[in-house]
Amino acid sequence: MSRVIVAEAEALLDQEIPVLDKGFVRLVDYMGGDARIVQSARVSYGAGTKTVRQDRGLIHYLMKNWHTSPFEQVQLTFHTKMPVFVARQWVRHRTARLNEISGRYSVMKDEFYVPSPENIRPQSTNNKQGRSEERYTPEAEQEIIQMFEDEQRTIYGNYEKLLEKNLARELARNNLPLSLYTEWYWQIDLHNLFHFLRLRMDAHAQYEIRVYAEAMAQCAKAVAPLAYEAFEEHILGSVQFSRAECEALSAMLAGQPHALEGKPLEAFQAKLDKLQAATPAETPEEPQLIS
């Protein structure tokens, strides 16, 4: 079987997609594409690629019915550069193979993440792990940015002084902060990449990792456009209801009250809001500024 070549993916190879202030995502290599998915799915009865329409129908069927193994036949290898705190969230996805730059062998670069003003927000009052929709005043935002930059400059200066004393690099790096940029090669199959994207492209994911997921989604779409279309249709743009939520839906359709309340009701309402997201919304109010 010859290697699957996808023109859109070939055009994207080794092209840096800028992310955040100093990071990037780069598609280094890929193996397979939509053709490999359908070849794998049809191997049991000896039929390969047919028409695009038939292939699209098969890929949608596989995605809709959770037949995941054909999507595992496609692999993507990325070279990415991101802040350490993003990498620590990222590495929780244990279904990939990675190799990260090591501060034991290399002198770490003077590169730190500094949020842009619009991404500097207070702690959310209803989300323990997220930021508020409110904004600081422009003066307060610039003050916070200056604090980030001053501390990063001081810490890296001390790192350089330790290196000048010939302290072992594995010790000199000890105080470098989470905002430091790191790099790695990350290889993953398409099925598990879709799982990563489903979680990290969600509106509840932290902004700084969400933008990396969006860049990687561009690469996945280039490598396997039909599979990505099916992913958007059946996973990314869908809503899954629990048994209790299905019962609540049935009650609502029948014009009857349902039993959901508290946190379960909030989660149910959020899913209903997602269903209505295609409806044009009113122009949002300007975010409140706080000092």
Instruction: Look up 200 and say whether it is catalytic.
Output: yes
Q: Contact at 8 Å (CB) between 229 and 252?
A: no
Q: Contact at 8 Å (CB) between 70 and 236?
A: no
Looking at residue 131, the DSSP 8-state letter turns out to be: B
Q: Which helix (H) or strand (E) holds 97?
A: strand 97-100
Q: Whole-angstrom Cα distance, residue 133 to residue 150?
A: 26
Q: Whole-angstrom Cα distance, residue 57 to residue 138?
A: 51
The partner residues of 140 in beta bridges, in order of sequence, read none
Catalytic residue among 92, 200, 210, 243: 200
| Residue 204, both tokens | 């509840």
Q: Which helix (H) or strand (E) holds 136?
A: strand 135-136
Catalytic residues: 200
